[in-house]
């Protein structure tokens, strides 16, 4: 996966460091489950890690561990109309861009490393709703 995104094979030490970090995260998750201190989000994320492609599992973990709780908190605090008004325009543009980019990658007209770089830029609009917190 990293070779596909980077366009080259990453250094062995770099991959080993990432693997060790992932193993530590898995160990902490298992420890949390063993102690019985987990909810549906952690359970679903562990299943996603076991069953989904790594990129999809990361996206799922981000959604259930960060995005959905943040949106829920903002909706409770400000109401759904204010949240939609704050992030709707930019999120809509980002979603359309992501769908277009996926179509172009699938048609082999955009290299995956370029798509990954563009995706980081398109992820930024979700942070604009955090201005509600100020």
Q: What is the pLDDT of residues 10-69, one digit of tens each?
A: 899 998 998 899 889 888 888 888 888 778 888 888 888 888 877 778 888 888 888 888
Predicted model pTM: 0.61
**What span, in angstroms and rounded, lies between the C-alpha atoms of 56 and 102?**
14
Answer yes or no: is 3 within a domain. no
Answer yes or no: is 134 within a domain. no
Q: Are 25 and 58 within 8 A, CB to CB?
A: no
**What span, in angstroms and rounded, lies between the C-alpha atoms of 121 and 134?**
23
Task: Name the residue with tokens 């561990």.
Answer: 65
Report pLDDT for 24. Answer: 93
- Is the per-residue pLDDT at 134 higher than 70? no
Percentage with pLDDT > 90 across the chain: 13
Q: Are residues 84 and 41 in the same domain?
A: no
Q: Are residues 115 and 67 in the same domain?
A: no
Total domain count, the chain: 2
Q: Are residues 91 and 50 in the same domain?
A: no
Report pLDDT for 44. Answer: 86
**What span, in angstroms and rounded, lies between the C-alpha atoms of 133 and 45?**
27
């Amino acid at each position: 996966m990293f070779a596909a995104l980077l366009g080259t094979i990453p250094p062995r030490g770099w991959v080993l460091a990432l693997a060790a970090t992932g193993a530590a995260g898995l160990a902490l998750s298992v420890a949390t489950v063993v102690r019985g201190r987990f909810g549906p989000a952690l359970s679903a994320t562990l299943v996603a890690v076991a069953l989904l492609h790594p990129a999809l599992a990361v996206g799922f973990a981000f959604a259930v561990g960060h995005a959905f709780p943040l949106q829920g908190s903002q909706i409770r605090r400000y109401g759904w109309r204010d949240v939609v008004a704050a992030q709707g325009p930019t999120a809509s543009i980002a979603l359309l861009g992501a769908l277009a980019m996926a179509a172009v990658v699938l048609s082999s007209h955009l290299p995956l490393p370029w798509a990954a770089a563009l995706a980081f830029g398109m992820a930024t609009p979700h942070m604009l709703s955090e201005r509600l917190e100020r």
